[in-house]
Structure 1
Amino acid sequence: MKPIPRVRVIDLETTGSSPPAHAVCEIGWQDVVLQEDGLWAIGGEGGSALVDPGRSIPPVTMAVHHIMDEDVKGAPFWQEIAPTILRPEGGALALAAHRASFEQRFCTPKLSGGAKWICTWKCALRLWPDSPGFSNQVLRYWRMPEGLDRSKGLPVHRAFPDAYVTAHHLRDQLNAAGLEQLLAWSNEPGLLPRVPYGPDRGAYWRKLSDETLRRFTSDRNEDVRFSARREIERRDGTSLPREDEPKQGELL
């Protein structure tokens, strides 16, 4: 069968955020397909499937997605259903998710066939830095993507509606920057356009003093460190050593 030039968007609803203590209780998907005219478009109907997490769903997560124990009774287990969705017939050029690091905790390379991943959150930081926020839903209402059916994108925090909304962001990102660029951005930390917390919250990096900026290079948050370092590089016209490389003069 001829490979299908598509990226499959994935969204998971789970019992919590930390496998193996937590597990998947629903998966949704929506394809974005490369057309003959060279543009990317929403492809097919997408879908969702309930998954038996093999444990009770805590009330705190029921309150988010409203999936209850009785809903998933008799559903397939994750190890059974995941490969059929993550590795579709005809293949996929990559998988994608908004804040893909979360989905990747559960969609392991063994289940996905070692698929490449696009993080639409990281790509949104690059392409739409002036957005007031970068959650799936803030981007939805700030951008108002063309062709997004409001009813199909509801309710939020369910696997298919969220995947459907993310797919519209991905379509526009692919048409703006291309597949390889999105993959490259997704393999780096998030390039935050503004300071996310603290006394300088909301300030663009370019507005900070050199002293303040350098303090952020030792922040606990990887995305903050990366973003501060990139602004320093822009100002200096040089590249700082990568965090996993020893600085000159340090003992190995």
Structure 2
Amino acid sequence: MMLRVVDLETCGFEPPAGVCEIGFCDLVRDEEGWHVGVPGHLLIDPGSPIPPETSAVHHITDADVIGAPSFEDAARAVFFDEERDLAPRVVLVAHNARFERQWLTPEVTGEVHWICTYKAALRVWPDAPSHSNGALRYWLKPEGLRRDRAEPAHRAGPDAYVTAFLLRELLAHTTLDDLVLISSQPALLVRCSFGKHRGTLWSEVPYDYLMWCARQDMDEDTLFTVRSEIRRRTEAAR
């Protein structure tokens, strides 16, 4: 079985901002376990100038993408088996996959399951100091991770490579099916990020504040977390 980790560098936070790089790295299982492959990447012509503020993050400039393929052509090379005209990989993986999935729609990738290593890390390692890709890398210190392939950060190939190691570590703690299920749900947040209880573990937020939050118009991750915590306490009190 092979899982393909992907990462995008873009010209903005959401479409119609263009993609300027796609990175990928495979996690392959054999009789000895899961193995991280060699990362790859393709620069992409985003179809419009790259804003300087996004170049400041990934350091990809207009000059770098002259003559690069279109997003459609690059995506086809990454996701499709040209001989069979289909997408052969059952599961795609990204850290905070919600971002990548804005561009990597079923029309681009084919119908596949997704794993979000960010959502999974929140569940498996709630005590991590941060759940960013880079922080988890240095906190977990995955065996076999090569620094020369993991850097520079904020480039698609190295970021996909790091995420592949995070995925391997997650699979040592839970199953592939559970990772797919967790990834299909909103994120289960660890700490409150607003108001008078900002920074407090959701498990320690007062019950009356949870009930107040549950009645507000909040983002789906916060509401999912609040309702899950209310349910947990209700069941524990029975």
TM-score band, normalised by shorter chain: over 0.9
Can you list the C-alpha shifts for 1:37-95, whole angstroms capped at 9, x where unaligned?
Answer: 4x3221x3120010001110001101100100010000000011102212357822200
Give structure 2 stretches of 5+ with no counterpart: none
Q: Displacement, 1:219?
A: 4.8
Paired letter, 2:20: C
- Within a 5 Å distance, the mapping from 1:46-195 to structure 2 comes to 46-88=39-81, 91-195=88-192
RMSD: 1.5
Distance 1:132 1:54 in 2: 38
Task: Tell me the equivalent position of 1:15.
Answer: 11
Distance 1:223 1:82 in 2: 29
Distance 2:217 2:116 in 1: 22
Can you list the C-alpha shifts for 1:142-179, whole angstroms capped at 9, x where unaligned?
Answer: 11111111221111100001000011001111222111
Q: How many residues align?
A: 231
Paired letter, 1:232: I
Task: Tell me the equivalent position of 1:244.
Answer: none
- Within a 5 Å distance, the mapping from 1:190-209 to structure 2 comes to 190-209=187-206
Can you list the C-alpha shifts for 1:87-141, whole angstroms capped at 9, x where unaligned?
Answer: 3578222000000011011111011011211100000000000011111011111
Distance 1:173 1:210 in 2: 31
Task: Tell me the equivalent position of 1:234.
Answer: 232
CA contact (8 A) 1:86 1:95 kept: no
Distance 1:108 1:28 in 2: 16
CA contact (8 A) 2:115 2:180 kept: yes
Q: Displacement, 1:196?
A: 2.2
Distance 1:87 1:178 in 2: 26
Which one is further off, 97-106 or 138-147?
A: 138-147
CA contact (8 A) 2:38 2:161 kept: no
2:21 alignment partner, SS class: strand
Task: Tell me the equivalent position of 2:28.
Answer: 33
Distance 2:230 2:218 in 1: 18
TM norm structure 2? 0.93
Change (3 A) 1:87 1:214: farther
Paired letter, 2:2: R
2:177 alignment partner, SS class: helix
Paired letter, 1:226: F
1:177 alignment partner, SS class: coil
Q: Displacement, 1:8?
A: 0.3
| Structure that is richer in helix per residue | 2
Distance 1:87 1:123 in 2: 26
